[in-house]
A and B are shown apart, each in its own frame.
Chain A
Amino acid sequence: MIDHATLALLLKGVNAVTWQSLFMIAVSFVLLYLAIAKDYEPLLLLPIAAGCMLANLPLSPLIAEDGMLKVLYNMGITNELFPLLIFVGIGALTDFGPLLENPRLVLLGAAGQFGIFMTLMFALLLGFSPQEAASIGIIGAIDGPTSIYVSGILAPHLLGPITVAAYSYMSLVPIILPPIIRLLTTKKERLIRMPYSQRKISRRTRIMFPIVVTVLVGTLVPFATPLIGMLMLGNLMKESGAVERLTKASAAEIANTVTLFLGLAIGSTMVGTEFLKTSTLAILVLGIIAFAVDACAGVLFAKVLNWISGGKVNPMIGAAGISAFPMAARVVQKVAHSEDFENFLLMHAMGANAAGQVASVVAGGVLLALMGAGG
């Protein structure tokens, strides 16, 4: 005989379905579609979508105590291990040559972080706590690992929406940057050509750079030490050429493995009852404001540089002062090329972009210091 108790046991899963979980499963389908059909950051969105789907299935054992997703979360997100490992890989893939050839571009990287602090103010006005506001502002850097790192320390409960915002806006860089660039620059400015500077950067300089930056930034902004340290470790391994196998492993195997773990763990934080709040919507909107303001500040500052230099700096490269390396620089090059096929700004944009990568890390460290993280 099947009585009601047995039936309830058998249908426990079906009974535990909530509208929130159904909605989040639908969200995961959208993310899967974007990743597979639209090729939007598939390496990140696919694992995030899978994590989200698996976590929202009724009574999912994966997010129960000792469930795999929970284990991954504790293993690498709560203690910041995963974003730091990713940074080693990013460092191993970043070429700081264009920045070293033209060091004044570092100013553009600094200007490109303005939106972070402005969005922080907005978020405070909307009633977010200072810690939450700082975590939301960092989305503007369009730098996934830094966003995860900062919000993981300051506001772990907002990690899901912040990460999704940071990574989905990364794929929106080619859509959002060009209109901002066109709005803030004149046709004449966009046509400014910047010849490639043929300064040779010696191997010694390339090796010294990551070491000096680590010591300098680590001393000035101690909270940025983990991020800058790992980024520059990757770069040192690449530039030294002494540990090719480690460089390759960091840039490929380790980065790929960690990306999978990171995506799954982040996806598992998107549980319907926690994720479906008005604050999530506010975070998504504020994040895009932070991004846009960052880009505007970069372009406007580059216009100042152009004015000071007597018309030698194309203001467009300021838009690459946000992070999102190397996508932002490529978008700048595309816009330049579409207006004048003989104009190649790529190397200058890459320099500004590499500066933005370092600057967003420093900005993250400054935010952590301001919030008095770590007690």
Chain B
Amino acid sequence: MRRYTLDISGREFVIDVQELAADRFEVKVGGEAYEVTLSGDENLAETSITPAISNGNGASPVVIAPRIAPKAASQAPIESVTAPLPRRAPTGAASKATLTAPMPGMILEVNVKVGDTVVRGQQVAILDAMKMHNMIGATRDGVIAEVFVTAGQSVDHGDSIVAFKMD
């Protein structure tokens, strides 16, 4: 399960996303549960999404079917949410310039910030997978161009962790 905490104009929303199948998710917002089906697979990772579920390969608009309480749909804040979700680089950019998660898990620590110079093998982050702390080392020498994750964030296999500045 993934938990997104969004702060929208000072109001906090906690959104829990449970993957049921590759294109089906259960989304819980404010105590209401919805079954969500991904309707397409356009690559919209770098844009703002209303509302959006990220599936690791980018994100796409969703069809929301209120499952438990239909009337709740109007009360639930999800319809009015316009916020960028935790950013992921588009899959196409996952070249050697990007360090990606080797397996699904949760980021426990991020040890670098944008502009840091790192050497190959230097610890960039700690990934908790199967309750084990895994050191994620820099794949090359270079300068960190972008950090895609924050501590406490769940990542899937192949999600970008950091990007290196290309020479």
Residues in chain A within 8 A of chain B (CB atoms): 95, 98, 196, 198, 200, 202-203, 326, 329-330, 333, 337, 341-342, 344, 346-347, 350
Contact = CB atoms under 8 A, between A and B. Distances in A.
Given A326-B130, A344-B134, A347-B129, 6 more contacts: A198-B158, A203-B21, A326-B131, A346-B103, A346-B129, A347-B103
Nearest to A326: B130
B21 A346 contact: no
B22 interface: yes
B134 A202 contact: no
A197 B7 CA distance: 35
Contacts of A202: 21
Interface of B: 20-22, 102-103, 121, 129-132, 134-135, 137, 139, 157-158
Contacts of A350: 130
A313 B130 CA distance: 21
A303 to B, nearest CB: 24
Nearest to A201: B21
A347 B103 CA distance: 8
Given A341-B135, A344-B103, A347-B103, A200 B21 contact: yes
B121 A347 contact: no
A329 B134 CA distance: 13
A337 B135 contact: yes
A247 to B, nearest CB: 14
Specify the main secondary structure of chain B where it touches its partner.
Answer: loop
Contacts of B157: 196, 198
A196 B129 CA distance: 12
Contacts of A337: 134-135
A196 B103 contact: yes
B100 to A, nearest CB: 10
Nearest to B132: A330
A203 B24 CA distance: 11
A333 B105 CA distance: 15
Contact of A329 (B20, B102, B130): B130
Contacts of A198: 157-158
B103 A341 contact: no
B134 A346 contact: yes
B158 A200 contact: no
B136 to A, nearest CB: 8
A330 B20 CA distance: 28
Contacts of A330: 130, 132
20 contacts: A95-B130, A98-B130, A196-B102, A198-B157, A198-B158, A200-B22, A326-B131, A330-B132, A333-B132, A337-B135, A342-B102, A342-B137, A342-B139, A344-B102, A346-B103, A346-B132, A346-B134, A347-B103, A347-B129, A347-B130
Given A196-B102, A200-B21, A200-B22, A333 B158 contact: no
A337 B157 CA distance: 18
A346 B130 contact: yes
B20 to A, nearest CB: 6
A41 B73 CA distance: 50
Contacts of B102: 196, 342, 344
Contacts of B139: 342
A360 B134 CA distance: 28
A334 to B, nearest CB: 9
B37 to A, nearest CB: 15
